[in-house]
Structure formats: C-alpha cells, structure tokens
C-alpha cells in the first residue's frame, strides 16, 4: 500500500515544491512522477499536495508521512547496520556517540586500537550532549553512546553499563587570587571570578544552590584543551571531572580550588540489547573497557 520509496518521493516534491524539479533530482520523467503521486492519492483517498501556480505545497497528511517516514528510514538503516555487524569484523559500519568529556578522556587511543583490530569496519563518531545522544540511540542513528547520562532518565529497555565516576573539581593557575589563602570556598563565591567550562547539564544543576546558573559561566566551552590552556595563562577558572586534570595537577600547572560541596560525575555506556550480540559492538566495548582500566 505504501512503502519508504513512496514517502521519499513525497518528501522530494514537498522540499522542491515542483514535480519537474523533483523528477530531475530523482532521475525520473515528470509524467512518471506525476502518475506515482496521483496513484498514491487515489490509494490513500486523500490529497497530498495543494497545487498552486507557484508550486506544490504538502498537505498536513503529506507532512505527517514525511516526518514519520524519516523515523522509518532511520530504523531501516539501523537494521541494515545490525545485519552487517552480525556477520564479522571485516566490514559494515559502527556509529558511536560520545559526550565531550568522554571524548577527551579516552580518544583517539580507543579509535586507533579499534581500527587496527577490525580491518574494514567504517566507524562514525558523533560528539553530542547527553540528551541528544539518548535521542539518537532510541531512533537508531547510534549503535553505542557513552556519556554522563542521568541514570533515571535512561529508558530501561536499553542496556546500561557504568563507565566511570569522578568528583567534579574547579582548578586555576597557582598564581590565581582565589588560591592566595587556604579558604574553603562556597560555590557562589566562584561567581566573583571568570569561568570557562561546559554548560551545566540538567543532571548536575541540582548540586548548585544558585538562583541563576548562567552568570557562573563567562565562556561556555566543551573543549577542555582550550579551557585548560586559558586557565593556565589567565585568571580564568575551569572545572570538570578530576581525571581530566590529572597531568596538570601533577605538574603543578593547575591547582584544585577547595570548595564546600563535592559534585559527583558519572558516565554510562548505553546501547540497545540486540547490538551487544554483534562482533563490532562487542569488540568496541572490549577495547573501550581496556582503556578505562589502564
């Protein structure tokens, strides 16, 4: 009655607003495409487009098919990748999503090891916020996601594995004014100084007893190489999981600021249950776990 290719035709006509333009892009003749759209309207017994002198505009029904068809296509793509992964480690693709902190803690070493051990697997890496990663796992765009998810917000249908827990700390260069005494500072006191760090996530905001969190960050930056460089060469403060600053703390380039509250940071690896039965996903998780334990 209706298949994904039909929805793709509808989408092209809606995007281009013209049967002629859509036919050219689809490498079809204009009469053939017109007949396909006409037959679909007869089959569904409803008009798919408003036809005007200026072009064609999708009706609400057509827009509904387009929106839901994209989800169907994403699911089909995920199924195809799953079938590829079921075979072996010699081909197929693997889509991995990472939170920005995880990306900077363990990669690119994990990626290099995976590529060296899996021959021709095509690996796609996405760095996104936790909420975006969760959405991409559910709609089939990702096979694995690793990030600081809020545990209670992860659907129980997904497989959840803890990755790492660490306290969040704030650091500054040794000459920073905030470090010139041994005071233990309340978090609101940090607002007196310039701060560069990632935006405060929903999972962490409950630990901050501030009426407005936005003034806490003068520069919002997910790249810790940039944040650490600025903190080492200026009076900016930065913050994040303690493991991100281990080298700088050991060398004395950055110093931990004593605060009155300890904020936990926890990351998880999530995937759909069926993904764990495929060689590529199992190999990626195996390599990733080896790097965590190092």
Cis preceding-peptide flag for 108 (omega within 30 of 0):
yes
**Do 237 and 257 meet the contact criterion of CB atoms below 8 Å apart?**
yes
pLDDT given for residue 202 in this prediction: 62
Cα distances from 288 to residues 114, 115, 163, 212, 242, in angstroms, run 9, 12, 9, 37, 20
- Residue 87 structure tokens: 């075979």
Class of domain 4-71: mainly alpha
| Helices 4-16, 30-44: crossing angle, 10 deg rounding | 120
- What are the pLDDT digits (tens) for 174-227? 999 999 888 888 877 887 888 998 876 666 666 665 444 445 667 888 889 999
Looking at CATH, the fold of the domain delimited by 77-163+267-293 is given as D-Maltodextrin-Binding Protein; domain 2 (3.40.190)
* pTM check: above 0.85: no
- What are the pLDDT digits (tens) for 117-135? 887 788 888 998 888 999 9
**Do 64 and 111 meet the contact criterion of CB atoms below 8 Å apart?**
no
Task: Give pLDDT < 50 ranges for the chain.
Answer: 210-214
The domains of the chain are located at 4-71, 77-163+267-293, 165-265
Looking at CATH, the fold of the domain delimited by 165-265 is given as D-Maltodextrin-Binding Protein; domain 2 (3.40.190)
pLDDT given for residue 207 in this prediction: 65
Topology match between the domains 4-71 and 165-265: no
pLDDT given for residue 256 in this prediction: 95
The values of phi and psi at residue 278, to 5°, are -100, 145
């Amino acid at each position: 009655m209706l298949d994904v290719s039909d929805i793709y035709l509808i989408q092209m006509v809606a995007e281009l607003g013209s049967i002629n333009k859509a036919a050219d892009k689809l490498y079809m003749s204009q009469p053939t495409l017109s007949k396909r759209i006409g037959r679909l309207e007869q089959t569904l017994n409803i008009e798919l487009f408003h036809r005007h002198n200026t072009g064609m505009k999708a009706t609400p029904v057509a827009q509904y098919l387009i929106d839901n068809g994209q989800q169907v296509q994403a699911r089909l793509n995920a199924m195809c990748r799953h079938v590829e992964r079921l075979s072996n480690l010699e081909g197929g693709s693997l889509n991995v999503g990472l939170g920005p902190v995880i990306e900077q803690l363990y990669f690119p070493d994990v990626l290099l090891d995976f590529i060296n051990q899996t021959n021709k697997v095509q690996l796609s890496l996405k760095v996104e916020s936790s909420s975006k990663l969760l959405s991409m796992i559910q709609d089939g765009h990702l096979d694995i996601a690793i990030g600081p998810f809020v545990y209670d917000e992860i659907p129980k249908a997904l497989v959840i594995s803890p990755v790492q827990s660490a306290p969040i700390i704030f650091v500054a260069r040794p000459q920073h004014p905030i470090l010139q005494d041994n005071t233990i500072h309340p978090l609101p006191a940090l607002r007196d100084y310039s701060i560069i760090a990632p935006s405060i996530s929903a999972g962490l905001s409950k630990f901050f007893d501030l009426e407005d969190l936005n003034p806490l960050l003068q520069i919002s930056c997910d790249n810790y190489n940039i944040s650490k460089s600025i903190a080492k060469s200026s009076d900016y403060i930065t913050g994040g999981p303690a493991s991100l600053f281990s080298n700088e703390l050991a060398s004395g380039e950055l110093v931990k600021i004593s605060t009155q509250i300890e904020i936990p940071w926890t990351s998880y690896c999530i995937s759909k249950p069926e993904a764990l039965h495929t060689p590529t996903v199992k190999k990626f998780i195996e390599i990733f776990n080896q790097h965590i334990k190092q």
